[in-house]
């Protein structure tokens, strides 16, 4: 069974044609494939189903086998996969996820492939007074004014709190039991801003995958959280993670995510590896 390994800023997934894997337990298949010692190695599995010449559906599972609602990096790589391997004809592809539809524009620049996704409106969910109080109860002090819960199709907690490690934030959130289904966590540890530019440095802990090199929806959540945090009128930002650079823009309502799409390699999954996932 052919697979494609791709990443955007180090956020890597194994991509498959849904028609070839629809008779598999995709949750189990994701755990088998994502294992970095005994499988291919990835943050998860994404199966893409062609719906028509410019529309496809993304079915996503995290490395631990849990279902993923959406993924800013995954949805852009999925559009590239659909164009190249499922023969979609348009460079503007509508990607359907569990929670929304995302318009992805594919283009080439200086010999590299890029994908820009319309991520829609990224909303602040509510004040984090309750979250901060609960975290303090389990031994992690944070100021509620420096924590933002954001909805980017999936849920994020963005911490403007460089004094705590990413792991301590994750453990505090886990102990609080506020988010029993899990939540993505972003730790902002450095901000560089001038009158015309903004660069935000962040670490990511993804629900279902653990510490990852980047997160597309997380980058959008970070930028919108910054705009709430600083009441800034700036309209774009570079989000720097361990995996590289993501560019985020806003028109005041919608948020747009852009970066390179890297196809790492293709291969064939050994039947011995995946046989237990066959229904």
**pLDDT tens digit sequence for 142-190:** 999 999 999 999 999 999 988 899 999 999 999 999 999 999 999 999 9
The reply to whether 123-253 shares the fold of 2-117+261-277 is yes
| pTM of the shown model | 0.94
User: For position 230, what pLDDT does the model report?
Assistant: 83
Which residues lie below 8 Å from residue 222, measured CB to CB, with a gap of 6+?
158, 186, 188, 200, 202, 237, 239, 248
Give the CATH H-level superfamily of domain 123-253: Diaminopimelate Epimerase; Chain A, domain 1 (3.10.310.10)
Q: Residue 232 — very low, low, confident or very high, per pLDDT cuts 50/70/90?
A: confident
User: For position 279, what pLDDT does the model report?
Assistant: 83
For the chain, which residues make up each domain, given as ranges? 2-117+261-277, 123-253
d(CA 101, CA 94): 6
User: For position 25, what pLDDT does the model report?
Assistant: 97
Q: Give the chain's mean pLDDT.
A: 95
Topology annotation, domain 2-117+261-277: Diaminopimelate Epimerase; Chain A, domain 1 (3.10.310)
d(CA 85, CA 72): 20
* 270, HSE (Cβ side, Cα atoms, 13 Å): 6
d(CA 26, CA 216): 22
């Amino acid at each position: 069974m052919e697979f494609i390994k791709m990443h955007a800023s180090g956020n890597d997934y194994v991509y498959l044609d849904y028609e070839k894997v629809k008779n598999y337990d995709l949750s189990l298949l994701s755990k088998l494939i994502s294992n970095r010692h005994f499988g291919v190695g990835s943050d998860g599995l994404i199966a893409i189903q062609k719906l028509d010449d410019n529309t496809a559906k993304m079915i996503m599972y995290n490395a631990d086998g849990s279902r993923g609602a959406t993924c800013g990096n995954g949805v852009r790589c999925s559009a590239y996969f659909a164009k190249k391997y499922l023969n979609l004809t348009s460079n503007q592809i509508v990607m359907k996820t569990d929670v929304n539809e995302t318009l992805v524009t594919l283009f080439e620049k200086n010999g590299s492939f890029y994908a820009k996704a319309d991520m829609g409106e990224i909303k602040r969910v509510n004040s984090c007074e309750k979250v901060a109080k609960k975290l303090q109860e389990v031994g992690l002090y944070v100021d509620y004014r420096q924590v933002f819960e954001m909805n980017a199709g999936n849920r994020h907690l963005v911490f403007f709190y460089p004094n705590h490690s990413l792991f301590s934030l994750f453990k505090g959130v886990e102990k609080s039991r506020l988010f029993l289904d899990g939540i993505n966590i972003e730790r902002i540890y450095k901000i560089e801003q001038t009158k015309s530019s903004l660069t935000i440095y962040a670490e990511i802990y993804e629900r279902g995958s653990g510490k990852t090199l980047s997160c597309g929806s997380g980058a959008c959540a970070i930028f919108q959280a910054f705009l709430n945090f600083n009441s800034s009128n700036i309209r774009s930002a570079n989000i720097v993670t361990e995996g590289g650079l993501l560019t985020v823009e806003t028109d005041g309502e919608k948020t747009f995510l852009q970066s390179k799409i890297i196809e790492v390699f293709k291969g064939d999954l050994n039947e011995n590896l995946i046989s237990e996932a066959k229904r």
